[in-house]
Chain A
């Protein structure tokens, strides 16, 4: 644990020192996604249910296809965009610490496949059985605060990556939908 925290501190210090961070925030309406999840999950046994996190990763990798300048690595003096999307996932270690292993080649994975990959990578993170490639090949990181907590997250980029996408906790908010103010789910 001490070793891991030392490594995290070194990486984050380097990130804050070397990467000029700036932060953008945008509210998104998750109600349709939540409704779709509820409809899908009602037919499924718990081991096959999807979490919102799988849809957030799917949305992120689809969006990255349109902005390749955010998906890649800055190594040496040059930024090299990556053809593949290796989507890192910030995973909290119970007892303290955070690791961001990557779901490799995530671009074409559907939500069910991403959910399976998330389950697998979270379980192996907690068990300390990650592959080296998962820790070293990420091209973007997603950090999601789950179901409870704050509205938005501005993270520290994981070098040599150049961007991080943070999702706040979704909660019901008054939003304009179809010309009327209604309660909708938004992070």
Chain B
């Protein structure tokens, strides 16, 4: 899975959780909670979807590593490879 595939998958799940977001307007350095307005329930729903899509456990202690789209892509890429 390439970085681009991961980013596409991540954005698809994000838009499912927050359908009002415009995929074209997303910036990779947008903070999911501070900039995109995800609350704790939205964020947990996104983590649940990423867990299913990518087959990764994503423990709570890793949440800070998914704070922005760019960070989350790097995290998913690394964990999938590992």
Point out residues on A near B: beta carbons under 8 Å. 38, 41-42, 45-47, 49, 51-53, 92, 94-95, 118-119, 122, 146-148
Contacts and interface: CB of A to CB of B under 8 A. Distances in A.
Contacts, number: 41
Interface string B23-43: 000000000011001011100
6 contacts: A41-B59, A45-B48, A46-B48, A46-B50, A47-B51, A146-B39
8 closest pairs, A vs B, by CB? A46-B48, A46-B47, A47-B48, A46-B51, A94-B20, A146-B40, A95-B20, A146-B39
Nearest to A53: B40
Interface residues of B, number: 20
B44 A38 contact: no
A122 B20 CA distance: 15
Given A47-B48, A94-B20, A148-B33, A42 B59 contact: yes
Contacts of A53: 40-41
B41 A147 contact: no
Interface string B58-71: 11110000000000
